Structure 1
Amino acid sequence: MARVIVDVMLKPEILDPQGQAIARALPRLGFSGVTDVRQGKRFELTFDGPANETTLAAARKMAETLLANTVIEDFQVHIEQE
């Protein structure tokens, strides 16, 4: 079985109000040194069979079609190493 990870993040030019709220809350909770926070999504897809280019291509197509809004989000697809 193959596990493919799809990480989805807002494009850099898109405002991230949730990330900004987290960044403002961190100092109040005693955490320092963080200058920016961007919040995203992670999808873990498990496929039958081996991890190969066909599996990655299918995951990319899923990301483009359903998992990411490509107008405002970028995504990266990679195989999770066991």
Structure 2
Amino acid sequence: MPTYHARVFVTLKPSILDPQGRTVERALSHLDHANVAGVRVGKYIELTLSGEREAVEAQLADITGNVLSNPIMEDARWELSEVESVGA
């Protein structure tokens, strides 16, 4: 059964204020990085799943949209790559 490595990226929608991103931006400015703007902070999650690719993709879409993110406030995307078997 194939094994897959998933990377999930969750960010606040552009219309949602990001106080954490704003705090990081202010801190960077105070550290002489005044040319940095538009800082947004998000989440990065890694998962390992096994099964047939089509089923894994459907499962990952469900997990991403219903568990790892709030679709009202956040955008989420994922990347999936097959893990090569060792000794196969």
Relative to the length of structure 2, the TM-score reads: 0.80
Q: Which residue is 2:68 aligned to?
A: 67
Q: Which residue is 1:54 aligned to?
A: 55
Q: Which residue is 1:28 aligned to?
A: 30
Q: Which residue is 1:79 aligned to?
A: 80
Please tell me whether Structure 1 or Structure 2 has the larger radius of gyration of its CA atoms: 2
Stretches of structure 2 lacking an aligned partner (at least 5 in a row): 84-88
Relative to the length of structure 1, the TM-score reads: 0.85
Stretches of structure 1 lacking an aligned partner (at least 5 in a row): none
4+ runs deviating over 3 angstroms: none
Instruction: Classify 1:31/1:80 alpha carbon distance in 2 versus 1 (closer, same or farther; 3 Å).
Output: farther
What is the Cα-based RMSD across aligned positions, in Å? Answer: 1.8
Instruction: Classify 1:71/1:26 alpha carbon distance in 2 versus 1 (closer, same or farther; 3 Å).
Output: same
Identity of aligned residues (%): 37
Contact 1:14–1:72 (CA<8 Å) still a contact in 2? yes
Alignment-mate amino acid for residue 68 of structure 2: L
